[in-house]
Amino acid sequence: MASTSTVTVLVGSGNPVKVRAARRAAELVYAPRQVDCRAAPAPSGVSAQPRGDDETLQGAENRVRGVLASAPHAVNGPASAPGMEVAVAVEGGVVERQGGRLACMAWVAVAERTADGVKTARARSAEFELPQGLADLVAAGMELGDADDTYFGRVASGSGQGTVGKVTRGIISREDYYVQPFVLALSSLLAHPGPAP
């Protein structure tokens, strides 16, 4: 019989979109267990607008390390143990493609403390090209959320539908966009046989 104990998911951000995406993903991956998803903001340690896969992934991993460091009470035990606690983070970034086009993407990093150490996993989102006018603002040094607000004439897009929501005309929200890489990373974490090397 499957365990019905609670999985605590600590999200390295206070952004409600990221917390909701992590909750949705965890509820899918850990079903039928209960999920207690909480914001646990942690610094990315990278620039406000990460560029390229390496810096973006580093930001997600730094946030996860920050969550683990601030949560010394994390339960030690295998994934099947009651009281499992997982640290997760997502970092959005841009990457330059052929012809100087800018594309938007995100990296997710996840970690679980076990009796043998810390298991980790990562997953990357799909990417999409930014409209040229928006890309020009980012290339000039604006953070994507601010550039989005300026380009589309709205406020606090990063806490709402995000750029992906505007580009897809609401077909894919920012929350939806993050759910898939969270699911992939958490699923990889469960499938991982042991701690990170």
Contact 60, 90 (CB under 8 A): yes
Q: For the domain made up of 6-97+104-127+174-191, give the CATH fold.
A: Maf protein (3.90.950)
Q: Who contacts 127 (Cβ-Cβ below 8 Å, separation ≥6)?
A: 95, 103, 104, 105
* Residue 4 confidence (pLDDT): 58
Q: What is the mean pLDDT of residues 173-189?
A: 97
**Confidence check: pLDDT of 83 > 70:** no
Asked if 44 contacts 50 with a C-beta cutoff of 8 angstroms, the reply is yes
Contact indicator for 109, 169 with CB cutoff of 8 Å: no
Mean pLDDT of 75-85: 51
pLDDT at 73 over 60: no
- How many helices (H) and strands (E) would you count in the chain? 6, 6
Q: pLDDT category, 193, cuts 50, 70, 90?
A: low
Q: What percent of the chain has pLDDT over 70?
A: 86
The span from the CA of 85 to the CA of 115, in Å, is 12
The pTM is what? 0.88
pLDDT given for residue 77 in this prediction: 40
Helices 16-30 and 174-191: crossing angle, nearest 10°? 40
Decide if pLDDT at 124 tops 90. yes
Q: What does the pLDDT look like over 3-26, one tens digit per residue?
A: 558 999 999 999 999 999 999 999
130-163 residue pLDDT tens: 999 999 999 999 999 899 989 988 776 666 788 9
